[in-house]
Amino acid sequence: MIGVLLLAAGAVGAMPAAKLQIPPLAFTERVLANGLRVVAAEDHSSPTVSVQVWYDVGSKDDPDGRSGFAHLFEHLMFKGSRYLRAEQFDRLTEDVGGANNAGTGDDSTMYENVVPSNHLERLLWAEAERMANLNVDDANFRSERAVVEEEYRQRVLADPYGRLQNAIDTRSYAVHPYRRPGIGNIDELEAASLEDVRAFHRTFYRPDNAVLIVAGDFDPKELDAWVDRYFAPIERPATAIPRVTVVEPARVRDARYTERGPNVPLPALALTWLAPSARSPDAAALKMVAALLGNGESSRLNQALVYRGQIAQDVSFSADLRVDKGLLVALAVAASGTSLATLEHALLAEIDLLATKPVPGAELAKVRTQLLTQALLGRETPLGKAEALGEAILVGGDAQRVNRELDELQAVTPADVQRVVRTYLTGANRVTIEYLQEKPAAKAAPGGTQ
């Protein structure tokens, strides 16, 4: 029903769409004496509950020379503790009809579970148990390091365009630790020691660096009692939590790089620009720009480069907003016979058009509808509600942003779109990465010389 209402609201033609009255996502917050932040969103629409723990540590916090640590720890957190066997979370969730997952971002690491609501207490106990008593031994460390290394081989080395994706952050940032891809690399993972890993856990996996989010079918008094029982006894370390203080400087010139891979079916191109923080007042307008340019088959880049021009096999545009400076990224795979110079010219022409000609009201309303529909559909489940809250807190910096961001999207005007395009795209320096097939190795001449 939500999607139908939004689509109707967006189909107004050139007239400005009336602002939708979206009910806020209701939640409560409290902080335990040990620093753990507890956020609860009660919802009895289904007999399920999501328990999530978000840690304020991501790949930007990886130690120097040890990229991939936050990602490695995402895996290690499932390997058991003093009172939990390895993979016990699968038994506590999947065996009762639920699910569990985890994800490592640039700025945070998230662990999420969904279970029938009568299993809430045991999930709270289990999350507290692995926060306090994780078993980091040599066997677990080596097995999960091997898993992460295999992910690297599959996602970076085996994927024809994996090396291009991996190069985007490395080439786009000059000094910020965002420049180290979160997946890590095999050499640095192999150089890590068990003590390195234990030190990382002691430093970041602690109650005053975590947010516990519970959304769904629960009794608030029971929830508070269980949280106090299982999480409150976890001690808060006396040591300070190190924070990234490096500031990425503004770009003073354009830069161009060439990357190569062993199995590149068609040449590709990435253009990147520095973006402001996800907490910037311009975040909503930049999300709208990314959707106008690259959201779906009807987006401007798809229509111009793939369908009308037939010069691209695939094209996308994203606003990768983070706690510190993020990236605006245009990616395109050339159609057969198209040069990267032609592709680059066409990409920039579409961006220039967005800067110089106001977006028609109907087009802006359509894209706004897409973004609002996506957000609201995600929030129809306890899992989605908790994820939205976690993103608002850890990346947006404020739990109330979970509601403000929808209002901010509705407030974006054609003038806002033009302003942010001129500020962050056409008026800013860019990094260009050309991605090509590896050059064939020179063959040895007869007689053993080259």
Query: Given the DSSP bridges, would you call strands 431-437 and 255-261 parallel, antiparallel or unpaired?
Result: parallel
* Within a domain: 267: yes
**How open is the CA angle 8-14-15, to the nearest 5 degrees?**
70
* Within a domain: 91: yes
Beta partners for residue 273, in sequence order: 328
At residue 109, what are phi and psi to the nearest 5 degrees? -130, 130
Taken as a whole, the chain contains a residue count of: 450
* Within a domain: 404: yes
- Our count of domains for the chain comes to 2
In this prediction, residue 447 carries a pLDDT of 55
For the stretch 38-70, pLDDT in tens is 999 999 999 999 999 999 999 999 988 888 888
Least confident of 7-16, 152-161, 380-389: 7-16
Q: Which residue, 165, 196, 230, sits at the end of a domain?
A: 230
For the stretch 391-420, pLDDT in tens is 999 999 999 999 999 999 999 999 999 999
| Same domain? 257 vs 311 | yes
Residues with Cβ < 8 Å from 418, sequence gap 6 or more?
354, 355, 356, 358, 359
| Same domain? 269 vs 362 | yes
In this prediction, residue 176 carries a pLDDT of 97
Q: Band of the pLDDT at 349, cuts 50, 70, 90?
A: very high
| Same domain? 264 vs 118 | no
Q: Name the H helices within 26-161.
A: 69-76, 88-93, 120-133, 138-152
- State the Cα–Cα distance between residues 360 and 430, nearest whole angstrom: 27
In this prediction, residue 444 carries a pLDDT of 57
Over 70: is that where the pLDDT of 237 sits? Answer: yes
Q: Band of the pLDDT at 425, cuts 50, 70, 90?
A: very high
In this prediction, residue 1 carries a pLDDT of 36
| Same domain? 64 vs 196 | yes
Over 70: is that where the pLDDT of 8 sits? Answer: no
- State the Cα–Cα distance between residues 168 and 250, nearest whole angstrom: 17
Residues with Cβ < 8 Å from 91, sequence gap 6 or more?
none
Annotate 297-309 with three-state secondary structure. CCCHHHHHHHHHC
* Within a domain: 374: yes
Q: Band of the pLDDT at 19, cuts 50, 70, 90?
A: confident
In this prediction, residue 4 carries a pLDDT of 37
Average pLDDT, the chain: 92
| Same domain? 186 vs 316 | no
Average pLDDT over residues 339-368: 97
For the stretch 261-287, pLDDT in tens is 999 999 999 999 999 999 999 999 999
* Within a domain: 450: no
In this prediction, residue 443 carries a pLDDT of 62
| Same domain? 350 vs 401 | yes
Provide the edge-to-edge strand list for the sheet that holds 109-116: 28-31, 37-42, 210-216, 48-55, 109-116, 99-104
Q: Are 339 and 353 in contact (CB under 8 A)?
A: no
| Same domain? 292 vs 386 | yes
414 is in which domain, residue-wise? 253-437
Nearest to 386 by CA among 30, 50, 6: 50
Least confident of 71-75, 137-141, 311-315, 444-448: 444-448
In this prediction, residue 137 carries a pLDDT of 86
Nearest to 9 by CA among 295, 293, 376, 294: 376
Q: Band of the pLDDT at 178, cuts 50, 70, 90?
A: very high
Q: Which two three-digit tokens encode residue 400? A: 């109330």
Query: Given the DSSP bridges, would you call strands 326-334 and 109-116 parallel, antiparallel or unpaired?
Result: unpaired
Q: Which residue, 198, 230, 262, sits at the end of a domain?
A: 230
Q: Band of the pLDDT at 10, cuts 50, 70, 90?
A: very low
- State the Cα–Cα distance between residues 388 and 10, nearest whole angstrom: 23
- State the Cα–Cα distance between residues 312 and 343, nearest whole angstrom: 7
In this prediction, residue 79 carries a pLDDT of 87
Nearest to 416 by CA among 362, 353, 371, 355: 355
* Within a domain: 13: no
Average pLDDT over residues 251-256: 97
In this prediction, residue 140 carries a pLDDT of 87
- State the Cα–Cα distance between residues 108 and 390, nearest whole angstrom: 9
Q: Band of the pLDDT at 20, cuts 50, 70, 90?
A: confident
| Same domain? 364 vs 416 | yes
In this prediction, residue 445 carries a pLDDT of 56
Q: Could you tell me the CA-to-CA distances from 58 to 32, 55, 133, 176, 177 in Å, in that order?
A: 23, 8, 21, 13, 10
* Within a domain: 245: no
Task: Return the CATH number at 292.
Answer: 3.30.830.10
Over 70: is that where the pLDDT of 449 sits? Answer: no
Q: Are 215 and 389 in contact (CB under 8 A)?
A: yes
Beta partners for residue 437, in sequence order: 261
Residues with Cβ < 8 Å from 353, sequence gap 6 or more?
300
* Within a domain: 4: no
Angle formed by the axes of helices 401-411 and 283-294, to 10°?
60
| Same domain? 219 vs 288 | no
| Same domain? 184 vs 279 | no
Over 50: is that where the pLDDT of 11 sits? Answer: no
Residues with Cβ < 8 Å from 199, sequence gap 6 or more?
none
In this prediction, residue 9 carries a pLDDT of 43
Between 136 and 391, name the one with better pLDDT. Answer: 391
| Same domain? 79 vs 214 | yes
* % the chain with pLDDT above 70: 94
- The contacts found for 168-174 with CB under 8 angstroms, 24 or more apart, are 168/270, 168/272, 168/327, 168/329, 168/433, 169/327, 171/255, 171/257, 171/259, 171/272, 171/431, 171/433, 172/272, 172/274, 172/327, 172/431, 173/248, 174/248, 174/249, 174/251
Buried b (16+ CB within 10 A) or exposed e, 193-203: eeeebeebbeb
Residues with Cβ < 8 Å from 212, sequence gap 6 or more?
36, 37, 38, 39, 51, 52, 53, 127, 227, 231
Q: Which residue, 230, 263, 282, sits at the end of a domain?
A: 230
| Same domain? 282 vs 371 | yes
In this prediction, residue 86 carries a pLDDT of 85
